[in-house]
Structure 1
Amino acid sequence: MKYVSWNVNGLRACIKKGFLDFFHGMEADLFAVQEIKLQEGQVDLDLEGYEQYWNYAEKKGYSGTAVFTKREPVSVSYNDVGNARQRTEGRLMTLEFADCFFVNVYTPNSQRDLARLDERLSWEEEFHAYLKALDRQKPVIVCGDMNVAHQEIDLKNSKTNKKNSGFTPEERGYMSQLLDGFLVDTYRFLYRDREGAYTWWSYMKTVRERNIGWRIDYFLVSERLKEHVSEAAIHSEVLGSDHCPVSVELDWRKKR
């Protein structure tokens, strides 16, 4: 099965820049998006063969997530993590299937001046506990913009960003906890030492052309699913957002 995730940074704008061409070309079994920045009724997507699940932020033009899936889930839950404000921002969706949980997340940013670092770390605590509770029931697939570059290899300028949002020791430490025998970073599982593999670039002039980026968009899977991972990709050639899509393919025919 093929899974795709993309922070579209405004779905309506992304549609005008080729979103649907990429969507149909990928022929994914499940396609997750983050930062849709719209409310119900503001877009009408004709995606034949896909069930659509939307999680809108209450604040207009802000945040939000969605999932388009060929398989109908057993159940769908929304915003199970976060403080009162975060739960209105459409940051989390969980789709339960017979064989796994699929979690689509848009992790809160600690902000440029780290004004919300404590709030971000509180989210991480709750999010980790939530994922572990799911994993005790069945395997978990997690995707989305997690707003952290885990290792120095995951951003261009690691030395100058060590105290900046998305690369603080605290944020990186929480990602390490997730990957410590619990979840697997599917891209690094297959491509441990590949450099220049980024998923987000600033809109500053020529930054993307020079590939001065960060890898902050992920597919993570439960440790017991890692042998099912047959491919993981970063589609850096795809424009339309300041993020690019990422994908993973799982071969469910292998015995667990």
Structure 2
Amino acid sequence: MKLVSWNVNGLRACVKKGFLDYFKDIDADIFCVQETKLQDGQIELDLDGYYQYWNYALKKGYSGTAIFTKRKPLSVQYGFDKDEYEPEGRIITLEFADFYMVNVYTPNSQRDLARLDKRLAWEDKIRDYLIELDSRKPIILCGDLNVAHMEIDLKNAKSNRGNSGFTDEERGKMTDLLQSGFMDTFRTLYPDKEGAYTWWSYMNKVRERNIGWRIDYFITSVRLREKIIDAGIHPEIMGSDHCPVFLEIDM
């Protein structure tokens, strides 16, 4: 199976910049997107052979996630609980026969860290959620997790220490998650690979000079380690301030 995750930073804009060409070329079995910035009915994608699942934010032009899958899931859940409404459209879970697919757009703690407390509460909640799912069957988590975990995961680690996405608290929550039976697939395969980033500021020539952060992930249950074939990044794909990441796994 080939899986792809991409924060498109506005799907309508990304479609105008070649999203569908990449989508067709990559031919993923499951394709997850974050930050769709859509409401129901604002876009209609002709994705032949794919089931489409959308989670819209209540606020217009904000957040939102979607999953396009060739395999029809056994069940679909929006939010953490069937009875709890999640107003920012940040999570979709598809259940398949042998695993759960979880697509997440993690809240940003904001430049002044105004949402850091809410962000840390989110981290605790999703960790508990994933542990509970993992007790039933393995999980594959993907998305923009809005954290560079290690110093190797961003270009300028020293000058960004304490900034949103690279606070000790956020990094610690990622460590907690990975110590709970999960693994960062890219770093598992490529522990020492430098310059591997998935997000770049729109500031002048930052992407050209590869001054970036790796904040988009595929994370799986540790017991899937032997099934992983490859995990990687497509930095050459434009259309967003993020680039797609992929996972190849024998499921």
Query: For residue 38 of structure 1, what is the aligned residue in structure 2?
Result: 38
**Does residue 152 of structure 2 align to residue 136 of structure 1?**
no
User: CA–CA distance in 2 between the matches of 1:198 and 1:108?
Assistant: 19
Q: How far does residue 178 in structure 1 lie from its aligned partner after superposition?
A: 1.2
User: CA–CA distance in 1 between the matches of 2:92 and 2:205?
Assistant: 34
User: CA–CA distance in 2 between the matches of 1:181 and 1:163?
Assistant: 24
Q: How far does residue 87 in structure 1 lie from its aligned partner after superposition?
A: 1.4
| One-letter amino acid of the counterpart of residue 13, structure 1 | A
User: CA–CA distance in 2 between the matches of 1:119 and 1:58?
Assistant: 18
* Percent of residue pairs identical: 67
Query: For residue 243 of structure 2, what is the aligned residue in structure 1?
Result: 244
| One-letter amino acid of the counterpart of residue 33, structure 2 | V
Provide Cα deviations, 1:2-38, integer angstroms capped at 9, x if missing partner: 0000000000000000000000000100000000001
Equivalent pair of 1:109/1:120 in contact (CA under 8 Å): yes
**Does residue 120 of structure 2 align to residue 121 of structure 1?**
yes
Alpha-carbon RMSD: 1.0
User: CA–CA distance in 2 between the matches of 1:229 and 1:238?
Assistant: 23
Q: How far does residue 160 in structure 1 lie from its aligned partner after superposition?
A: 0.6
Q: How far does residue 226 in structure 1 lie from its aligned partner after superposition?
A: 1.1
User: CA–CA distance in 2 between the matches of 1:32 and 1:109?
Assistant: 19
Q: Mark the CA change 1:194 to 1:34 in structure 2 (over 3 Å): closer, same or farther.
A: same
User: CA–CA distance in 1 between the matches of 2:37 and 2:135?
Assistant: 33
Query: For residue 71 of structure 1, what is the aligned residue in structure 2?
Result: 71
**Does residue 223 of structure 2 align to residue 224 of structure 1?**
yes
- Report matched runs for 1:10-159 at 5 Å: 10-80=10-80, 87-159=86-158
User: CA–CA distance in 1 between the matches of 2:228 and 2:153?
Assistant: 20
Q: Secondary structure at the match of 2:223?
A: helix
User: CA–CA distance in 2 between the matches of 1:189 and 1:24?
Assistant: 28
User: CA–CA distance in 1 between the matches of 2:225 and 2:101?
Assistant: 15
User: CA–CA distance in 1 between the matches of 2:242 and 2:73?
Assistant: 27
Alignment: residue pair count:
249
Q: Secondary structure at the match of 1:87?
A: coil
Equivalent pair of 1:155/1:214 in contact (CA under 8 Å): yes
Equivalent pair of 2:131/2:180 in contact (CA under 8 Å): no
**Stretches of 4+ aligned residues off by more than 3 angstroms:** none
Provide Cα deviations, 1:158-179, integer angstroms capped at 9, x if missing partner: 0011110000001000101111
Q: How far does residue 80 in structure 1 lie from its aligned partner after superposition?
A: 1.1
User: CA–CA distance in 1 between the matches of 2:168 and 2:58?
Assistant: 32
Q: Secondary structure at the match of 1:231?
A: strand
TM-score, scaled relative to structure 2: 0.98
TM-score, scaled relative to structure 1: 0.96
User: CA–CA distance in 1 between the matches of 2:201 and 2:181?
Assistant: 31
Q: How far does residue 181 in structure 1 lie from its aligned partner after superposition?
A: 5.1
Q: How far does residue 180 in structure 1 lie from its aligned partner after superposition?
A: 1.5
Provide Cα deviations, 1:119-140, integer angstroms capped at 9, x if missing partner: 1000111110000000000000
User: CA–CA distance in 1 between the matches of 2:60 and 2:174?
Assistant: 30
Q: Secondary structure at the match of 2:171?
A: helix
Provide Cα deviations, 1:84-117, integer angstroms capped at 9, x if missing partner: 8x91010000000000000000000000010110
User: CA–CA distance in 2 between the matches of 1:178 and 1:35?
Assistant: 23
Equivalent pair of 1:106/1:146 in contact (CA under 8 Å): yes
Q: Mind listing any 5+ residue stretches in structure 1 that lack a counterpart?
A: none
User: CA–CA distance in 1 between the matches of 2:162 and 2:72?
Assistant: 43
- Report matched runs for 1:199-214 at 5 Å: 199-214=198-213
Equivalent pair of 1:181/1:223 in contact (CA under 8 Å): no
Query: For residue 6 of structure 1, what is the aligned residue in structure 2?
Result: 6
Provide Cα deviations, 1:169-206, integer angstroms capped at 9, x if missing partner: 01000101111151111101111100000000000000
User: CA–CA distance in 1 between the matches of 2:103 and 2:5?
Assistant: 8
